[in-house]
Amino acid sequence: MVTLTEVARLCNVSASTVSNILNGKKNVSEATRQRVLKVIEETGYEPNFYASRMRSQSSRTIGIIAEDLSMYTMPIVERTMAVCEDQGFMTMLVNLRMYDRYSDTWYYDETKLYDVYKAGITQLRSLKVDGIIYIGGHSRYLNIFTDLEDLPLVVAYAVAKDSTIPSVIIDDEKGGYDVTRYLLDQGHKKIALIAGVHENLHTQKRLAGFQKALFESGTLYDPGMVYYGDWIRKSGYDGARILMQFKPDAFLCMNDFMAAGAMDYLREKDIKVPEDISVIGFDDVQLAAYTLPALTTNRINHDEIGRRAANKLIDIINGKDMARKEGRKPIKVPCDMVIRDSVVKR
Amino acid sequence: MVTLTEVARLCNVSASTVSNILNGKKNVSEATRQRVLKVIEETGYEPNFYASRMRSQSSRTIGIIAEDLSMYTMPIVERTMAVCEDQGFMTMLVNLRMYDRYSDTWYYDETKLYDVYKAGITQLRSLKVDGIIYIGGHSRYLNIFTDLEDLPLVVAYAVAKDSTIPSVIIDDEKGGYDVTRYLLDQGHKKIALIAGVHENLHTQKRLAGFQKALFESGTLYDPGMVYYGDWIRKSGYDGARILMQFKPDAFLCMNDFMAAGAMDYLREKDIKVPEDISVIGFDDVQLAAYTLPALTTNRINHDEIGRRAANKLIDIINGKDMARKEGRKPIKVPCDMVIRDSVVKR
């Protein structure tokens, strides 16, 4: 391959003259410019990406760090990339593959995450990215974002403990409120809750929304009627088995997998959904449209999380967002109720 | 940030001396080396990735081009990245986002793909990747891989028309054979086929396997008992409606969505699965475990496709695979039967 130095020699000019022409600088005569461009065309010389990036402090590239590629994070990654492209930025994705590395033992262990994260940041820094979008594998407070200096960062689907770093999350509290409100509006009086893992931020916020909706309707919140599962189908089954002693008229489940598990138990006991008891889920993953009856649930708007995170980062890069200096609250993206057949009016 | 030139000035040596030390060259006195390293540590100078890459023809980086990030391609991307990391390669993912750009109108339109693909190749070439793994969004022959010169390429989940380029695909013919064989072994005599889109390579190969299994068992293949759907739930419903006139004892569906659609129709007509009729799917997507009854199907081993594609590319990069020079057949990854409750022994 022809180098810049060889092009310069063939044109009998200095390498920096060739470089100036390539970078559109005006301090070169038109005759020289034409001569150099002709040689470049004839030799098939390709400017070196690294050489041009090395001279510039901006790469017009945004780094995306995903803790994992899953059905939850994938649409966030996809939308982020689309927005960046629309705004003239390349993207570089680093996938930390936390689940692949550590199964579920990393969920609440920031030390496991930190080393992998650091390697990702180093890789992206060396590419001189203009900023980073960090996509959490699940919602929680993250304390890993140190040593960023002035590298712009936006966190999606998790929350940076450092409140000067913008975060974009789903509005779990309103989501929990909305599903509860929907059950109450359909005439349900005794709602048993199959919650997620207790320490999880989704669980905490959805629970707060649940309690708020009950309070507003004058219904007493009974902590005994809450079962803390671990998001998988089997724990929904177990939750339903244990909570049936309270004779609820509805199960509110904090994700669709547990809602499907609750329906497994009810089917086994020949209890009809929704005739005998209503079941409502959360997330709207693929299975929700295929259970029998199809599951009424609350759809997470991953697309919108990606869009807002990318736009926020680009605003910061372009100097249109000055909020880095002051504290701020996470940006919350609302969920959308999806009404199917698992809830009936009583 | 401190530059290499500033480090050189502080040490009273030339920039190329600093550079030589960083690159481990031996033509520098130990005293100078120590002095320079001390200043580098004190100033926190970070060597420039682009500068070092610019000097080298190898980046120890593998480019991944995905036509789309979907539930099918995501696990291929994930495993590819894991293998590359294990072998000491960084990865750079370019997502062509074909579905996001063109909905499903790009499936059989290579001109739409070509421009987006070219931009991706240019981006990865400028990063001096050592090779590329191209992950198709669906299976078909691809004729876009021109002008690659000596850049190593492996295609996954699609087939390069140029047979000197290695391709890794699922073994659709054996997959189609296995599901048919399973139904025959369970005593089914009249199998109606709900196929995918007619021109699709998955469809063609699975159909060949279907015919082969019928032939071996001495059963006549009846093209009238084949309905060509378009992979979505509704077309499975339509296929079942049309094919029920033949009074089949089993529906073989070329994906799980269409199998779920066939079950929708059967439920509507109060025809019991599997008591009255068996239903078998293909792919093992999430929904398959949640239909009622749960779907017996044939799982695509995306993980293994990613693993083999990455290993093949690294072999080529390391000079261990000489096959670029001669023609070769695609590498085929077998599917795994997943037995659930939608097929009964007759």
Identify the pLDDT of residue B327.
Answer: 59
| Token pair of B127 as six digits | 């990063």
What is the ipTM metric for this complex?
0.82
Residue whose entry in the numeric block shows the structure tokens 């002008």: B147
Q: Are strands A331-333 and A278-280 parallel, antiparallel or unpaired?
A: unpaired
Q: Which residue is closest to A75 within chain B, CA to CA?
A: B69
For strands B226-228 and A191-195, give the pairing. unpaired
**Cα–Cα–Cα angle for B78, B82, B87, rounded to 5 degrees:** 150
Sign of the alpha-carbon dihedral angle for A47, A319, A330, A307: negative
Question: Which of the residues in chain B have pLDDT under 70?
Answer: 1, 23-26, 46-57, 322-327
- Of B49, B93, B260, nearest to A290 by CB-CB distance is B260
User: Which site among B2, B56, B93 would you substitute to test the A interface, given the most A Cβ atoms closer than 10 Å to its Cβ?
Assistant: B93
Q: Is the pLDDT of residue A197 over 60?
A: yes
Contacts of residue A82 in chain B, CB cutoff 8 Å?
97, 100
State how far residue B56 is from chain A, nearest Cα, in angstroms: 10
Write down the mean pLDDT value for chain A: 90
Q: Which domains does chain A have, with CATH numbers?
A: 4-47 (1.10.260.40), 61-170+302-333 (3.40.50.2300), 172-300 (3.40.50.2300)
Q: Which of A51, A123, A290 sits opposite B291 (nearest CB)?
A: A290
Q: Which of B51, B100, B291 sits opposite A54 (nearest CB)?
A: B51
Please name the member of A82, A92, A292 whose beta carbon is closest to the beta carbon of B100. Answer: A82
Question: With contact defined as beta carbons under 8 Å apart, do A242 and A227 qualify?
Answer: yes
Q: How many residues does chain A have?
A: 346
Distances (CA, A) of A2 to A10, A195, B314: 11, 63, 27
Q: Cβ separation of A292 and B289 shorter than 8 Å? A: no
Residue B32's pLDDT is 85
Q: Find the Cα–Cα–Cα–Cα dihedral B247, B251, B252, B253, rounded to 10°.
A: 130
pLDDT band at A107 (very low <50, low <70, confident <90, very high): confident
What residues in B contact A81, CB-CB < 8 Å? 95, 97
pLDDT level of residue A173 (50, 70, 90 thresholds): very high
What are A215-243's pLDDT values in tens digits?
999 999 999 999 999 999 999 999 999 99
Flag the least confident range among A4-8, A140-144, A261-265, A294-298. Answer: A4-8
CB-based contact B290 A291, cutoff 8 Å? yes
A12 to chain B, closest Cα gap in Å: 23
Interchain CB distance below 8 Å, A69 and B69: yes
Q: How far is B248 from chain A (nearest CA, A)?
A: 24
- Chain B hits for A50, Cβ within 8 Å: 49-51, 53-54, 126-128
A288: pLDDT strictly greater than 90? yes
**Do A223 and A191 contact (CB within 8 A), yes or no?**
no
| B222 to chain A, closest Cα gap in Å | 31
**Residue B143 to residue B159: CA distance in whole angstroms:** 9
In this prediction the pTM is 0.83
Q: Which of B71, B81, B267 sits opposite A95 (nearest CB)?
A: B81
Question: In terms of CA atoms, which chain A residue is nearest residue B267?
Answer: A292
Interface test with B, best of A1, A50, A57, A59 (most B CBs within 10 A): A50
Residue at token pair 């708007």: A301
Write out chain B residues lying below 8 Å of A53, CB-based. 50
Contact B95 A78 (CB under 8 A): yes
**CB-based contact A56:A32 (threshold 8 Å):** no
B93 to A93: CB separation less than 8 angstroms, yes or no: yes
Are the beta carbons of B95 and A81 separated by less than 8 Å? Answer: yes
Cis before residue A274, ω within 30 degrees of 0? yes
Q: Do B97 and A90 touch (CB under 8 A)?
A: no
Six token digits for residue B41: 């540590």
Contacts of B127 in chain A (CB under 8 A): 49-50
Option in B81, B285, B290 nearest A97 (CB): B81
> What does the alpha-carbon distance between residue B83 and residue B187 come to, in Å, rounded to a whole number?
43
- For chains A and B, CB pairs below 8 A equal 91
Interface residues on A facing B, Cβ-Cβ cutoff 8 A: 48-51, 53-54, 69-71, 74, 77-78, 81-82, 85, 90, 92-93, 95, 97, 100, 123, 125-128, 260, 267, 285-287, 289-292
B78 to A71: CB separation less than 8 angstroms, yes or no: no
The residues near A16 (Cβ < 8 Å, ≥ 6 apart) are none
Give B98's contacts in chain A (Cβ within 8 Å): none
Q: Which residues of A touch B284 (CB under 8 A)?
A: none
Chain A residues touching residue B82 (CB < 8 angstroms)? 97, 100
A6-15, A97-106, A269-278 — most confident range: A269-278
* CA–CA distance, B259 with B295 (Å, rounded to integer): 8
Q: Which residues pair with B194 in a beta bridge?
A: B227, B253
Percent of chain A surpassing pLDDT 70? 93
Task: Give A59→chain B minimum CA distance, Å.
Answer: 11
Write out chain A residues lying below 8 Å of B81, CB-based. 95, 97
Query: Are B286 and A286 an interchain contact pair (Cβ–Cβ within 8 Å)?
Result: yes
Whether the link from the prior residue into B248 is cis, omega within 30° of 0, is no
Residue with tokens 């074909």: B98
Residues in chain B closer than 8 A to A126 (CB atoms): 48-50
Return the residue of A nearest to B99 by Cα.
Answer: A78
Minimum distance, in Å, between the CA of residue B123 and any CA atom of chain A: 9
Summarised one tens digit per residue, pLDDT across range B110-159 is 888 998 999 889 888 888 899 999 999 988 899 999 878 889 999 999 99
Q: In this complex, which of B46, B69, B126 lies closest to A49 when CB atoms are compared?
A: B126
3-state SS of A295-306 is: CEEEECCHHHHH
pLDDT in tens, A122-131: 888 888 899 9
User: Is residue A179 scored above 70 in pLDDT?
Assistant: yes
Q: Please name the amino acid found at residue B314.
A: I
- pLDDT of B13 reads 87
Give the DSSP per-residue string, A241-280. Answer: HHHGGG--SEEEESSHHHHHHHHHHHHHTT--TTTT-EEE
* Of A248, A246, A316, the residue nearest A277 (C-alpha): A248
Out of A94-98, A334-338, B273-277, which region has the weakest mean confidence (pLDDT)?
A: A94-98
Q: Number of helices (H) and strands (E) in chain A: give both, helices first.
A: 12, 14
Q: Of A49-53, A130-134, A198-202, B136-140, which one has max mean pLDDT? A: A130-134
Whether residue A53 is predicted with pLDDT greater than 60 in this model: the reply is no
CA distance B117 to B127: 16
Whether the per-residue pLDDT at A55 is higher than 70: the answer is no
